[in-house]
Amino acid sequence: MTGQILRWNLFIGGHLSSSVPVRLVERTDEAQLVWLKTGTPMWRTDLPGGTHLRDIPPQDRPVEGYPAKADHWPLGSALIHQPAGAGHAVFWFFGRRQKFRGWYVNLERRVHHGEDIDVADHELDIEVAPDRNWRWKDERSFAEKTGHPAYWSADEAAGIRTEGERVARLADAGTFPFDGSWCDFRPPSHWTTPPCADAPARTVLRHHGPGGPSPSGT
């Protein structure tokens, strides 16, 4: 149902990084669109010394995962397109006065179950400017993680990059989702900022598969 609150859960190397409430904009058999508002109350992994989860080797993390602490989504508001069965999502990022700032392609493996959208991050991403010029992001850290059992094999890494190349060609061609649609999106005025949900039930994904541990569900 449009306006339904879901939970977008991001996992890095099998461990929870963040859990943010989002609102459903549209859902079809082909894709789902959700809205993430800047400043939304959320849960974030409580890490020592202000480090980032992606910089902590999985073998150095507690087996049960890190605790989560309450926080707020610090980045801009975003409309997120999640194509069914695809290894990526596309973010439309918006700044002040809802000004469109560009697209962000997050390469990932995603599983939906109930109100949860569990995302296993694939590290390698693509930034696409409003003029559709694009560049790879985090290539070095993607290469460093390749071959680690908590992440992806060399063969899987090749598939992840191929997925990114496929989406980049869409940007080059100016076809959806880079055709200008949704760049003027405004959420309905009656949508309030989602409240902070209960603390995440899972901080570790237990079942392994391509791209690291994988959630169960469909």
**Residue type present at position 49:** G
CATH number of the domain within which 85 lies: 2.40.380.10
Mean pLDDT for 17-45 is 96
pLDDT for 197 equals 78
More reliable by pLDDT, 27 or 213: 27
Structure confidence by residue, pLDDT tens digits, 77-136: 999 999 999 999 999 999 988 999 999 999 999 999 889 999 999 999 999 999 999 999
Quick one: tokens of 31?
A: 């894709």
**Residue type present at position 130:** P
Predicted TM-score (pTM) of the model is: 0.92
pLDDT for 182 equals 98
Domain range for 77 is 5-214
Q: 178-212 in b/e burial notation, b at 16+ Cβ within 10 A? A: beeebbeeeeeeeeeebebbeebeebbbeeeebbb
Structure confidence by residue, pLDDT tens digits, 45-81: 999 777 889 999 999 999 888 999 999 999 999 999 9
Minimal CA–CA distance to 24: which of 49, 7, 10, 48?
A: 7
CB of 26 closer than 8 Å to CB of 32: yes
Structure confidence by residue, pLDDT tens digits, 166-212: 999 999 999 999 999 999 999 999 999 998 878 887 788 864 444 44
- For residue 217, pLDDT over 70 is answered with no
CA 67 to chain centre: 20
pLDDT for 214 equals 44
Taking CA atoms, 121 is separated from 7, 39, 89, 174, in Å, by: 15, 22, 10, 26
Q: How many domains does the chain have?
A: 1
pLDDT for 206 equals 60
* Residues comprising the chain, all counted: 218
- For residue 156, pLDDT over 60 is answered with yes
